């Protein structure tokens, strides 16, 4: 109950949560694991696997034209059009077994479809993030996206398990098989469903006058000290993650001999931890700010690649530690890195700031992923070191872990308006714990000043 504007806002936020849940079904049908399965079925090497999984990040070069489109035509219109096209672009993959293409032709089609979908997704995501920055009030942004993340993760877990079962049951002995085209068709269907749900949400910021697409607009974030610190962190962090991230699924399938169902169960366990921790991180962001949470999670995530040195084809139990760390820390990191740019970027010209953040981080990730693939191709697939058998992807995990640790310290230099002043993990924990009671009641915490929107 309340004024009509409040009722409309509440309705849009509820639909946004449901839309996010169905978007996770799309990701389960066309995400990194399925793309890796396509790559293996079409016999792509490590370098092309790295390039293919990095395509969404290579596509960040269209961020500034995307920001211009968003400002010209409005957040809602651009998001609806681009997101829909990016998801139904997978239709040729559903028809691949009946197109009569050679193996090389199928490889080219896979890369072309993945590239086109990635470019359109970048345009849609720029508009959608700016749209959410206008739609979701800053005072409840952390709690809303914490709840949204928890529910969408549950849906994504169920969808990933279903996709894993389908790929294990219907995979072909050679070639594409039947499961992958069916998943591509399901992804296109989810694209239509999510577009209809996005259309049910309103945009509080109507389209403005068409601004000129000038280079100086792209340079504004680099002249802003607060934004520049976020940019430097994102470049360093995404490069550190990109060296290894595209190859965990490949390592699981080729070296650890995991089935798609086991991979889906591992993802489900990670998702379960994310569901439990996302609301906690959301409240922490509303109370402390995004920067302290980002710094704390970045330091912890630095250890995750090293955990993947422990399991082998017959010993997968060390991945239990990965479930706990990845589930809890990536949950907080994802919420913080989403909320921080919305807080740092000024309302006027926000799409250009978001474009700068995404472009810098995305291109760093893409370059690092391609470099990682090239490095893996140069290292022997198996070698002995210190009396232990190692594989080439282990080298990427070690490099990534060290680089993440170095990048994590850049998060301490980020200045977020209104955030709690914290420079160590201990300070983050201390500020999040309840204060001791005074005179029979706990002293209220100081509220954060509203910023960003």
11-24 pLDDT, tens digit each: 889 999 999 999 99
192 and 268 in a common domain: no
**Domain co-membership, 342 together with 231:** yes
Is beta strand 437-438 parallel, antiparallel or unpaired with respect to 441-442? antiparallel
Domain that holds residue 418: 217-434
Per-residue CA distances from 328 to 121, 149, 278, 334, 432 (Å): 27, 12, 8, 10, 16
Considering the domain boundaries, does residue 449 fall inside one?
no
Q: What is the pLDDT of residues 408-448, one digit of tens each?
A: 888 888 877 666 655 555 555 555 455 544 443 333 333 33
Confidence of residue 342 (pLDDT cuts 50, 70, 90): confident
User: Per residue in 132-160, pLDDT tens?
Assistant: 888 888 777 778 888 888 888 888 888 88
Is 443 within the bounds of a domain?
Answer: no
Whether residue 344 contacts residue 353, with contact meaning beta carbons closer than 8 Å, is answered with yes
Q: Is residue 374 part of a domain?
A: yes
pLDDT in tens, 109-130: 888 898 899 889 988 988 888 8
Q: Can you name the residues that pair with 438 across neighbouring β-strands? A: 441
Three-class DSSP category at 328: helix
Domain stop point among 201, 226, 251: 201
pLDDT, tens only, 202-235: 877 655 544 455 556 566 777 777 788 888 898 9
Q: Model confidence at 81, in pLDDT bands (50, 70, 90)? A: very high
227 and 329 together in one domain: yes
Query: In this structure, are 177 and 225 located in the same domain?
Result: no
CB 145 within 8 A of CB 338: yes
Q: Looking at the structure, do residues 148 and 221 belong to the same domain, yes or no?
A: no
Q: Are residues 182 and 250 in the same domain?
A: no
Which among 132, 182, 140, 165 is positioned nearest to 19, based on CA atoms? Answer: 132
CB 401 within 8 Å of CB 305: yes
Number of compact structural domains in the chain = 2
What is the DSSP code string of 89-106?
Answer: TTHHHHTGGGS---HHHH
Radius of gyration of the CA atoms of the chain, in A: 22
- Residue 294's SS3 state is helix
Alpha-carbon distances, residue 398 vs 115, 240, 394 (angstroms) = 29, 10, 6
Q: What's the whole-number average pLDDT of the chain?
A: 79
Overall average pLDDT of the 337-359 stretch: 76
* Residues 227, 375 share a domain: yes
Domain-located, residue 6: yes
Enumerate residues 6+ apart whose C-beta is below 8 A from 167.
Answer: 34, 37, 179, 180, 183, 260
Q: Same domain for 1 and 109?
A: yes
Instruction: Specify the 3-state DSSP secondary structure of 425.
Output: helix
Kindly state whether residue 19 falls inside one of the protein's structural domains: yes
Q: Reduce the DSSP state of residue 192 to 3 states and report it.
A: helix
DSSP SS3 for 364: helix
Most confident among 14-23, 42-51, 153-162, 238-247 (mean pLDDT)? 14-23
In a domain, 345, yes or no: yes
pLDDT of res. 218: 61
Asked whether residue 38 falls in the same domain as residue 170, the answer is yes
**Whether residue 278 is found in the same domain as residue 193:** no
Q: What is the CATH classification number for the domain harbouring 333?
A: 1.20.1250.20
State whether 246 and 304 are in the same domain.
Answer: yes
In a domain, 444, yes or no: no
Same domain as 254, residue 128: no
In a domain, 151, yes or no: yes
Mean pLDDT of 177-182: 84
**What was the pLDDT predicted at 367?**
84
pLDDT over threshold 90, residue 64: no
User: Is the per-residue pLDDT at 310 higher than 60?
Assistant: yes
Burial class for 290, CB neighbours closer than 10 Å (0-12, 13-18, 19+)? buried
Q: What does the pLDDT look like over 367-398, one tens digit per residue?
A: 888 888 888 888 887 777 777 778 888 888 99
**Closest to 81 (Cα-Cα) out of 92, 73, 90, 93:** 73
CA 11 – CA 450 distance, rounded (Å) = 23
């Amino acid at each position: 109950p309340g004024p009509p504007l409040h009722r409309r806002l509440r309705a849009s936020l509820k639909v946004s949560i449901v839309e996010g849940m169905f978007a996770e079904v799309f990701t389960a049908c066309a995400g990194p694991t399925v793309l890796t399965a396509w790559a293996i079925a079409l016999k792509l090497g490590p370098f092309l696997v790295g390039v293919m999984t990095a395509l969404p990040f290579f596509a960040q070069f269209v961020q500034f034209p995307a920001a211009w489109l968003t400002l010209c035509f409005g957040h809602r219109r651009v998001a609806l059009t681009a997101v829909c096209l990016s998801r139904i672009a997978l239709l040729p993959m559903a028809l691949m077994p009946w197109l009569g293409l050679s193996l090389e032709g199928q490889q080219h089609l896979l890369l072309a479809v993945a590239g086109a979908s990635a470019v359109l997704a970048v345009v849609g995501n720029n508009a959608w993030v700016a749209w959410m920055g206008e739609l979701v009030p800053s005072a409840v942004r952390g709690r809303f996206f914490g709840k949204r993340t928890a529910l969408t993760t549950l849906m994504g877990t169920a969808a990933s398990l279903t996709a894993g079962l389908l790929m294990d049951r219907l995979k072909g002995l050679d070639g594409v098989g039947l499961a992958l085209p069916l998943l591509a068709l399901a992804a296109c269907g989810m694209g239509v469903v999510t577009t209809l749900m996005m259309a049910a949400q309103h945009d509080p910021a109507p389209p403005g006058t068409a601004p000129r697409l000038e280079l100086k607009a792209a340079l504004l974030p680099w002249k802003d000290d607060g934004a520049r610190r976020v940019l430097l962190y994102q470049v360093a962090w995404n490069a550190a993650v990109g060296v290894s991230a595209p190859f965990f699924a490949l390592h699981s399938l080729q070296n650890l001999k995991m089935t798609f169902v086991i991979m889906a169960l591992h993802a489900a366990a990670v998702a379960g931890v994310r569901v439990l921790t996302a609301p906690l991180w959301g409240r922490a962001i509303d109370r402390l700010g995004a920067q302290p949470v980002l710094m704390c999670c970045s330091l912890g995530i630095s250890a995750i690649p090293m955990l993947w040195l422990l399991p082998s084809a017959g010993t997968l139990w060390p991945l239990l530690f990965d479930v706990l760390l990845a589930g809890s820390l990536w949950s907080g990191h994802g919420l913080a890195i989403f909320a921080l740019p919305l807080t740092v970027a000024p309302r006027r010209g926000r799409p250009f700031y978001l474009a700068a953040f995404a472009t810098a981080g995305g291109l760093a990730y893409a370059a690092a992923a391609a470099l990682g693939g090239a490095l893996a191709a140069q290292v022997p697939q198996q070698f002995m070191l210190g009396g232990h058998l190692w594989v080439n992807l282990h080298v990427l995990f070690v490099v990534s872990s060290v680089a993440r640790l170095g990048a994590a310290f850049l998060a301490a230099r980020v200045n977020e308006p209104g955030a709690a002043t914290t420079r160590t993990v201990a300070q983050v924990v201390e500020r999040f714990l309840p204060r001791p009671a005074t005179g029979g009641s706990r002293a209220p915490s100081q509220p954060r000043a509203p910023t960003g929107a």
